[in-house]
Structure 1
């Protein structure tokens, strides 16, 4: 009895065998890399920090735009007499602040002056937010006075 020769078509070629081995090896490599990424707490924390920072910047930009729009709308609705009074008051405040600043420089101790200078720089860096808040408070104050009068 003779055996029928093996079907050469059914036996995998060396290339097919390499492919069959390479595919699971590649999948295993990806799985190992994914597990390594999950255990790299420092990198994940940095990524999350970056994402949160981007979200905070976007939210800040949105809030600034809303505040600017609201300020513009309020400014447009204010009567000229209120605007004139606000400008006059602002001038008086600037003059008094300049005088107080000169007095401060003459009499305050050096460490206190340094701390005040840092605070003033912080206020200058966030001027828009402070101005919007001041405008909002002024509008509320004016509105409250009108209701009383």
Structure 2
């Protein structure tokens, strides 16, 4: 039988079979690639990590911007004498950092001892 006779009977020609096999191979290759991508957990984790880092950087930038705006607004609305006193207090705290830290540690120790004695009663 020739190719024309095979087509009339509904059977595919060798060329049609080759094309069908080639299409099936392409589809199978795409399916395998998709499955391999889903199975590559390491790559997925890297993608998620990169996305989360990007979101965190964006959020951090927004927070910095908003806090800067809030600080400017607060400074604009705070009376000058109060701003000067706050600056003097900050300078004094920076200059006396060690005594302040030691005093804070003593206060915390005192409170912890006092709290511990209250539970023992």
Name the count of aligned residue pairs.
Answer: 94
Cα deviation, 1:18-77, whole Å, max 9, x if unaligned, reads 544333322211111111111122221222112111111111111111111111111111
TM-score, normalized by length of structure 2? 0.62
Larger C-alpha radius of gyration, 1 or 2?
2
Considering only aligned residues, what root-mean-square deviation do their CA atoms show, in Å?
Answer: 2.9
**Counterpart position of 1:84:** 84
Gaps of 5+ in 2: 103-121
Matches within 5 A, 1:1-149: 6=4, 14=15, 18-97=18-97, 100=98
Higher-RCO chain (CA-CA 8 Å, sequence separation at least 6): 1
DSSP-derived class of the 1:38 partner? helix
**CA distance in structure 1 between the partners assigned to 2:37 and 2:74 by the alignment:** 51
Moved runs in structure 1, 4+ residues, more than 2 A?
Answer: 10-14, 16-24
**CA distance in structure 2 between the partners assigned to 1:93 and 1:45 by the alignment:** 45
Cα deviation, 1:62-102, whole Å, max 9, x if unaligned, reads 111111111111111111111111111122112212xx28x
TM-score, normalized by length of structure 1? 0.52
**CA distance in structure 2 between the partners assigned to 1:18 and 1:68 by the alignment:** 68
